[in-house]
Amino acid sequence: MTKATNLNPSKLAMVPFVSVDNMMKIVNSIGTARMIAEIADYVEADFLRWKLFDKTPRVAAHSDEGVIELMPTSDGETYGFKYVNGHPANMARGYQTVTAFGVLARVDNGYPVLFSEMTILTALRTAATSAVAAKHLAPKDAKVMGMIGNGAQCEFQALAFKEVVGIDTIRLYDIDASATQKAVRNLSNSGLNVIACKSAEEAVAGAQIVTTCTADKQYATILTDNMIGAGIHINAIGGDCPGKTELHKDILLRSDIFVEYPPQTRIEGEIQQLPDDHPLTELWKVMSGEVPGRTSDNQITLFDSVGFATEDFSALRYIHDKLDSLNHFVELDLLADPDDPRDLFGMIQRSATNPNNQMHAGQKS
């Protein structure tokens, strides 16, 4: 990242913080669809730098209620991580199913340069990544997408596919009819033809792209084999942890499967249903032109998306680059920075004897 200190080079101890309120201001300033498309450009640019990144499956702490995960990566110049949870029962208890925050830091001195909410940003980057994959894998001139699962990710996916891929019709289905009604309301001024469907089969009918984004933490069959005809692109984003899938195994056996990072996807994705030697294609190789994506009109392509750390890195990098012009952030006094780096104890003592002047080097008044 080339702008590690541009925001405030004289106050490295002060860390720009993008709150939920500030993130909403950023989204509304730019526009949701445009922002997703711009993040998609960052996501693709970083996939094209794939070999530079440190890569590891997310570090997960699983429980009966859900999962808490850390997603770290670095391009050698900047380090980033996301903290994220996934708790399917949260919605019934009045909480979000997924919440997150993230950090960017300089590799050369370890100092953070950005601390940001990532609940909203994750929704934006997930939609951006889906659309980037579909740009390379979906049928040319695809116009209709069926979406099964109309929860928090639904509208972002719809706008991403409209803006990046060019769909004009979205067919919606959720087992909870109120979720579908919510999505219809929210997309009423999107420019999309929005159709509420009464079954998953109805939502898929006539679609060239099918997106599944359900939340239940179980082996589920959201799509059965007979629902998927030749030539369809499947954007499977709901399966994202061990023991959670959405597609019947037979669909996987008929599809050409594309993934972000195989060691993580084999644990968390739809392909956990398949043997480890089943052929896969890494998405970055398609983007770089190293291997082909869609090769025929009858080919079924499947993006088995689980979310990877480089995508969060891309989204945080995008936000950091926007802060100079949008100014929607505050500065946090996050890092102790005494005048003498060896005298942390003395800084504490001085603050005790002079309680009305607790400033330390770099602290904003």
Tell me which residues are annotated as active site.
240
Q: Which residues of 274-299 are buried (b: 16+ CB within 10 A; e: fewer)?
A: beeeeebbbbbebbeeeeebbeeeeb
Do 133 and 290 form a contact (C-beta atoms < 8 A)?
Answer: no
Do 315 and 42 form a contact (C-beta atoms < 8 A)?
Answer: yes
Q: In whole angstroms, give the CA distance from residue 212 to residue 172.
A: 10
Degrees to nearest 5, angle at CA 221 with 219 and 223: 145
Instruction: Give the CB-side neighbour count of residue 279, counting CA atoms within 13 A.
Output: 5
Chain centroid, CA 229 distance in Å: 28
Q: How far is CA 120 from CA 26, 234, 297, in A?
A: 11, 24, 36
% helix / strand / coil in the chain, to the nearest 5? Answer: 35, 25, 40
Do 151 and 215 form a contact (C-beta atoms < 8 A)?
Answer: yes
Chain centroid, CA 39 distance in Å: 10
Q: How far is CA 212 from CA 93, 129, 164, 255, in A?
A: 24, 14, 18, 15
Residues 6+ apart with CB under 8 A from 76: 52, 107
Do 87 and 97 form a contact (C-beta atoms < 8 A)?
Answer: yes
